[in-house]
């Protein structure tokens, strides 16, 4: 079996969505056609391929790049397992330490916000909800149910953090429990039309950081989600 496909697609098949598997398959095909291995990511080159050769719209290319980054981040989370695989891929036993360190650095760089970055302008009309409207939204879910806890958490994240529905659906467990300037925050992944960033939890009129954090923990507990996508 193709090693690139095995590492980037097959091993993540159980928890990935159909469109994510399709994007990763495209990426593996590009790696193979350019004689690259999975541990040699160059997302700037892949971005150029998507935009110039495949003629994708910037928003679609961003979705492809984001999916690839998420897969590499998942690999980095199991660093002991990743190191074992890389040691086997090293040219020789003597070169293992240097090879592993260089590859880990390359993969970490590939997950940075600047890797494969795409900038484009969008015309967006923004509609702000009033406090009364948000209160009405929060009153709808039945928080004595798992679905109600999930819905309130989603509303809280969108209001407190200012993320879009697309960004909300891209959040993974590892994106939570972050910190920015000493303030609780979440990592917002890059999405079509969205920018990767660390966003602090907003301590506003309707929510406090502790309130939202409690709901986040409750949602993860009742949904039994410990890894991967949250929503």
99 occurs within a structural domain: yes
Q: Is the pLDDT of residue 206 over 60?
A: no
Give me the percent of the chain exceeding a pLDDT of 70: 87
Return all residues near 225 (Cβ < 8 A) that are at least 6 apart. Answer: 173
Q: What is the pLDDT of residues 23-55, one digit of tens each?
A: 899 999 999 999 999 999 999 999 999 999 999
With 80 as the cut, is the pLDDT of residue 205 above it? no
Does any domain span residue 17?
Answer: yes
Do residues 103 and 135 both lie within one domain?
A: no
Among candidate residues 153, 95, 118, 98, the one with its CA nearest the CA of residue 46: 118
Whether residues 78 and 18 share a domain: the answer is yes
Query: For residue 11, is it within any domain?
Result: yes
Do both 105 and 154 map to the same domain?
A: no
The per-residue pLDDT of the chain, averaged, comes to 83
User: Residue 171 domain-assigned?
Assistant: yes
For residues 155 and 206, the answer to whether their CB atoms sit within 8 Å is: no
Q: Is the pLDDT of residue 14 over 70?
A: no
- Domain presence at residue 125: no
- 126 occurs within a structural domain: no
For residue 6, give the H/E element and its range.
helix 3-8
Domain that holds residue 7: 3-110
Count: domains in the chain: 2
- What integer is the mean pLDDT of 4-13? 78
Q: What six digits make up the tokens of 82?
A: 């990743």
- In 3-state terms the chain splits into helix, strand, coil percentages (rounded to 5) of 55, 5, 35
Give pTM, 2 decimals.
Answer: 0.57
198 and 169 inside one domain? yes
Q: Determine the Cα–Cα distance for residues 47 and 107; give it in Å rounded to an integer.
A: 16
Q: Say whether both 48 and 97 belong to one domain.
A: yes
Residue 23 lies in a domain: yes
Work out whether strand 197-200 and strand 178-180 pair parallel, antiparallel, or are unpaired: unpaired
Last residue of a domain, one of 79, 110, 141: 110
């Amino acid at each position: 079996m193709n090693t690139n496909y095995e590492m980037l697609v097959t091993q993540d098949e159980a928890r990935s969505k159909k469109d994510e598997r399709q994007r990763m398959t495209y990426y593996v095909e590009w790696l193979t056609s350019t004689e690259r291995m999975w541990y040699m990511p160059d997302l700037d080159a892949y971005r150029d391929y998507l935009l110039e050769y495949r003629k994708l719209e910037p928003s679609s290319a961003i979705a492809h790049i984001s999916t690839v980054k998420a897969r590499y981040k998942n690999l980095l989370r199991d660093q002991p397992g990743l190191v074992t695989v890389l040691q086997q891929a090293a040219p020789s036993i003597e070169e293992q330490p240097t090879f592993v360190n260089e590859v880990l650095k390359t993969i970490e760089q590939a997950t940075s916000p600047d890797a494969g970055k795409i900038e484009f302008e969008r015309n967006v009309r923004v509609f702000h909800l009033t406090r009364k409207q948000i209160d009405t939204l929060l009153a709808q879910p039945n928080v004595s149910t798992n679905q109600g806890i999930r819905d309130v958490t989603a509303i809280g994240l969108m209001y407190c953090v200012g993320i879009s529905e697309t960004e909300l659906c891209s959040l993974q467990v590892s994106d939570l429990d972050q910190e920015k300037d000493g303030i609780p925050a979440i990592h917002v992944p890059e999405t079509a039309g969205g920018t990767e960033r660390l966003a602090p939890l907003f301590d506003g009129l309707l929510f406090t950081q502790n309130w939202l954090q409690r709901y986040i923990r409750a949602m993860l507990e009742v949904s039994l989600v410990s890894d991967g996508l949250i929503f």
